[in-house]
Amino acid sequence: MGQAMNKSKNGQDKASIKSSDSKTLSDIIKGRNLEGLDSFDSFYHEVHEIIQELRKRTGAIQVQLRSSVEIKKAYEENKKDGGALSKAQCEKIIKELIKVEDIHIGKAVDILALIYGAPICAFFGKKIIPGANSFSDDVVIPLATAAAALFLTKTNKL
């Protein structure tokens, strides 16, 4: 039991999704101009740009990012000579900060379909199932909505 939770909606295992996301992250970092980041603000901006691009490519609705204190600490540790960071240093820092495990895959359309679709299905199901008319719509629809929200939170999509 529970084997279905380890697969995405297109049938891929989580491990294969994680490896493809790792490759995507590497491709995004390689495609960025990371030379000459001489201030923490420019580095911080670049990290957020990379996360935005990662979200677009993977369809992730959440990418958990480290706190600004942790980002600044990693930046200061790698910028010891006082000059601008090299591209290799930037890649190293960003790969340490953005872990593939922090990417939560899903799409907003899925969430909306479940949140609004579950009550609609419950409503029509109540009309079709014999004897279900004894339950009030005031009870069935909120229960279906609450069940959909509970499902989304248990699967880390909400």
pLDDT by residue (tens digit) across 87-144? 787 788 888 887 766 666 666 667 888 888 899 999 998 888 888 888 888 999 999 9
pLDDT at 27 over 70: yes
pLDDT at residue 143, as a whole number: 92
pLDDT at 10 over 50: no
State the pTM of this model.
Answer: 0.51
Q: Which uninterrupted H or E stretch holds 118?
A: helix 108-128
* Tokens read off for 71: 């980002």
Q: What is the DSSP letter of 132?
A: G
- Distance in angstroms (rounded) separating the CA atoms of residues 83 and 79: 7
